């Protein structure tokens, strides 16, 4: 019987046949795909023909087509619907794939061919896109250690292999801690909680088979519980469990993994001739150097800290007024901040949420994409990896553009957070290949028959991830290696963060923010109050983010700390971290940084991109229309369709004519007047 992962996928738009795939199919499929890739690499390396762009660089682009297809299906399922078998497969595949990657980068005959093409690049009459792909291919080999010999090459290979295992272990430990912990709530514990929080807690209890409502470590449940529960003791218990993920001792503790990861990254960087891992990592980003990153973060840190300390003093007085002695604690902040928001802006999330239905916010994100870029979205049927997953065909002027896959609800088998990925990326080297783009979120699943309701932050997350999806859908390049979101890390968040701005356009909310029970539009007064509170508590939000970004940077910008937790404490003390705020992601659950090296030394990139997104949306404001057709067309032509085919700074300058300063970011966060 043919393995369904390796057979021709006779499904709508060539989607993976998840209805036919079993967990037992992945190991033989990966083995076969790896063998195919190795054969392709050997054929390129041993080709007797003179090296040229087609027989070397383009051949490399095609070498892993089967492997990419198999892994695209597997890793999407493993991240969004894990189980013990899939977790075991991740542990099995990590060293195998690392070994294959090292084989490719260490293949001297292969690199000699790439080098030969690079050396004669001026004679080859390459297009601009081909020159870019050649540069990135050559640079990738060099940064992967292709020029190392002997012991140095062996040590680099061992470090990369071990890092791949550690990253997998880190994520699985975190998922286990998040999956296993929950706090039952008795009837008295529900007093004062809004109906939507109680409903979410009951749904979580049903999933856990707990016999009643529970609080879990899913952000979509624990954050509103911390906002609304008047039980300080329960808030503390829940918050401390949330903060202790990955640091509970035993087999799921991530602290030793973090220490070993940092040590191996330092070793990897030094083997390649860099002072630190941050120097190595940032060399290819827009920022360029650790100092440039630190300068940005500190320019934002001081006004954010000043605003947060002012807010903390007010919240602490509210705490004392309720009869509690002592300082404001981290588990108090969201509770008293929610009360203060209601006082200042007459805004209550319980009043707001019925107007932010998941289905209507999905419609809003689609409608904005239609007005900006002419995209149409039609629900379709097809194989999915979980019953909650939804499919849409994306078209423009009747032509197929992409398949969009939405997986929105939290569940125990899904890792935390929200992300965008592509099971198939756009390119034209092997025909007109259109993307299969996935958005994964962790919104609270409602009770059966009830609509899913979002917080305003949830709605922003939905728009954010859809901005990434548009970057994939509108990609228009020849080569898969530079397709869609294959751009520098501190540029990749620009399209996603820019798209969040359309959620704040009043006419969008006026049309799509409709009440779940009455279907009435959000009252203008409520809409204005919601938008007026957009920068409320921004000191807190900025401090918890920037603290995490600074810790990430300092972890990698010098000798690896023997004890990352001690180093974390020293960094936070040195910047004057307010005691009532903790890092958004403490080291043991900082998956952005320790699940792999994608965001290592790069968590700052959200803020680097925010400097650009605030300025980029200003282009529409200057045109006098958030849907200005000419500006939207220019945005697509420069930023969204180009992938990594042009240097990121050049793409941005093509759109705006210049690079922005930090002023737009501070203004957008309401921090421009902070002391």
Residues with catalytic annotation? 465
Residue-wise pLDDT tens digits, 509-562: 999 999 999 999 999 999 999 988 888 999 999 999 999 999 999 999 999 999
- The domain total for the chain is 4
Sign of CA dihedral 217, 219, 222, 226: positive
C-alpha dist (Å) from residue 115 to 58, 178, 284? 14, 47, 19
Domain co-membership, 90 together with 39: yes
pLDDT tens string 30-48:
999 999 999 999 999 999 9
| Pairing mode, strands 436-443 and 419-424 | antiparallel
Select from 590, 546, 585, 570 the least CA-distant residue to 297.
546
Q: What's the pLDDT score for residue 419?
A: 96
Mean predicted lDDT score pLDDT of the chain: 95
- Do 340 and 364 reside in the same domain of the chain? no
Residue 387 placed within a domain: yes
Residues 544 and 504 in one domain: no
Q: 196, 222, 245 — which closes off a domain? A: 245
Taking 90 as the threshold, does the pLDDT of residue 451 lie above it? yes
Q: Are 363 and 454 in a shared domain?
A: yes
* Structure confidence at residue 415 as a pLDDT band (50, 70, 90): confident
Same-domain pairing of 516 and 660: no
**Do 136 and 81 share a structural domain?**
yes
Query: Could you tell me if residue 652 is inside a domain?
Result: yes
CATH of the domain at 412: 1.10.1370.40
pTM: 0.92
**Nearest 10 degrees: Cα torsion 472, 475, 481, 486:** -50
Q: What's the rounded Cα separation, in Å, for the pair 197 and 220?
A: 9
pLDDT above 60 for 308: yes
Of the residues 245, 268, 295, which one is the last residue of a structural domain?
245
Give the model confidence (pLDDT) of 254-281 as tens digits.
Answer: 999 999 999 999 999 999 999 999 999 9
pLDDT in tens, 622-644: 999 999 999 999 999 999 999 99
Rounded CA separation 75/82 (Å): 10
Report the percent of the chain where pLDDT is more than 70. 99
- Are 489 and 519 part of one and the same domain? yes
Q: Do 141 and 207 lie in a common domain?
A: no
* Domain assignment present for 61: yes
Domain match, 527 and 381 both: yes
Residues 391 and 339 in one domain: no
pLDDT at 234 over 50: yes
**CATH number, residue 551:** 1.10.1370.10
Domain identity same for 475 and 512: yes
**627, 626, 648, 630: which is closest to 639 by C-alpha?**
648
Q: Which domain holds residue 310?
A: 255-353+538-668
- Of the candidates 532, 556, 590, which is a domain's last residue? 532
Residue 157 lies in a domain: no
434: DSSP letter: P
Q: The domain spanning residue 42 has which CATH number? A: 1.20.1050.40
Question: At 315, is the pLDDT very low, low, confident or very high (cuts 50, 70, 90)?
Answer: very high
Name the band, by pLDDT with cuts 50, 70 and 90, for residue 472: very high
Residues 361, 346, single domain; the answer is: no
Is there a domain that residue 171 lies in?
no
- pLDDT of 675 reads 44
In this prediction, residue 664 carries a pLDDT of: 79
- Average pLDDT on 362-374 reads 98
């Amino acid at each position: 019987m043919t393995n369904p992962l390796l057979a021709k996928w006779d499904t709508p738009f060539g989607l993976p046949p998840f209805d036919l795939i079993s967990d037992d199919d992945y190991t033989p499929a990966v083995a076969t795909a790896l063998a195919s890739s190795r054969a392709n690499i050997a054929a390129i390396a041993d080709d007797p023909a003179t090296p040229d762009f087609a027989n070397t660089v383009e051949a490399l682009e095609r070498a892993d087509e089967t492997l990419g297809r198999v892994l695209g299906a597997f890793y999407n399922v493993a991240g969004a619907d894990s189980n013990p078998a899939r977790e075991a497969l991740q542990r099995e595949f990590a060293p195998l794939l690392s070994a294959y990657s090292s084989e490719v980068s260490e293949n001297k005959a292969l690199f000699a061919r790439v080098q030969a093409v690079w050396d004669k690049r001026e004679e080859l009459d390459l297009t601009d896109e081909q020159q870019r792909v050649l540069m990135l291919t050559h640079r990738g080999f060099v940064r992967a250690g292709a020029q190392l010999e002997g012991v140095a090459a062996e040590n680099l290979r061992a470090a990369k292999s071990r890092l791949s295992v550690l990253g997998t272990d880190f994520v699985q430990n975190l998922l286990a801690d998040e999956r296993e912990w929950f706090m039952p709530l008795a009837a008295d514990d529900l007093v004062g909680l809004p109906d939507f929080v109680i409903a979410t807690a009951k749904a979580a209890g049903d999933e856990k088979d707990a016999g009643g409502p529970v609080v879990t470590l899913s952000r979509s449940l624990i954050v509103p519980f911390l906002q609304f529960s008047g039980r300080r003791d329960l808030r503390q218990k829940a918050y401390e469990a949330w903060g202790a993920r990955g640091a509970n001792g035993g087999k799921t503790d991530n602290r030793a993994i973090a220490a070993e990861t940092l040590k191996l990254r330092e070793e990897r960087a030094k083997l390649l001739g860099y002072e630190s891992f941050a120097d190595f990592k940032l060399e290819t980003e827009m920022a360029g150097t650790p100092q440039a990153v630190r300068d940005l973060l500190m320019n934002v840190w001081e006004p954010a800290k000043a605003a947060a300390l002012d807010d903390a003093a007010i919240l602490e007085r509210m705490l004392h007024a309720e009869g509690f002695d002592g300082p404001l604690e981290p588990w108090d902040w969201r509770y008293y901040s929610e009360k203060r928001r209601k006082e200042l802006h007459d805004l209550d999330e319980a009043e707001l949420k019925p107007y932010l239905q998941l289905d209507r916010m999905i419609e809003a994100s689609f409608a904005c994409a239609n007005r900006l870029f002419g995209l149409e979205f039609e629900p379709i049927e097809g194989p999915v990896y979980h019953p909650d997953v939804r499919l849409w065909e994306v078209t423009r002027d009747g032509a197929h553009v992409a398949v969009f896959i939405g997986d929105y609800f939290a569940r125990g088998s899904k890792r935390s957070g929200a992300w965008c990925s592509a099971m198939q990326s756009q390119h034209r080297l092997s025909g007109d290949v259109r993307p299969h783009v996935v958005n994964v979120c962790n919104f609270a699943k409602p009770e059966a028959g009830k609509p899913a309701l979002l917080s305003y932050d949830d709605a922003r997350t939905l728009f954010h991830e859809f901005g990434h999806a548009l970057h994939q859908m509108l990609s228009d390049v020849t080569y898969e290696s530079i397709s869609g979101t294959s751009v520098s890390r501190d540029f990749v968040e620009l399209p996603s963060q820019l798209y969040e701005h359309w959620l704040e356009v009043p006419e969008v909310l006026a049309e799509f923010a409709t009440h779940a029970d009455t279907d009435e539009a959000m009252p203008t007064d409520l809409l204005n109050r919601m938008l007026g509170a957009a920068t409320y508590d921004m000191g807190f939000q900025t401090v918890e983010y920037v603290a995490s970004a600074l810790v990430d940077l300092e972890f990698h910008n010098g000798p690896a700390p023997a004890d990352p937790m001690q180093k974390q404490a020293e960094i936070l003390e040195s910047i004057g971290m307010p005691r009532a705020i903790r890092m958004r992601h403490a080291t043991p659950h900082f998956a952005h940084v320790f699940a792999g090296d994608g965001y290592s030394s790069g968590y700052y990139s959200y803020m680097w991109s925010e400097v650009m997104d605030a300025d980029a949306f200003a282009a529409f404001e200057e045109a006098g229309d958030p849907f200005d057709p000419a500006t939207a067309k220019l945005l697509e032509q420069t930023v969204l369709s180009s992938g990594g085919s042009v240097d990121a700074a050049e793409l941005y300058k093509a759109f705006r004519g210049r690079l922005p300063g930090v002023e737009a970011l501070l203004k957008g966060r309401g921090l421009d007047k902070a002391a």
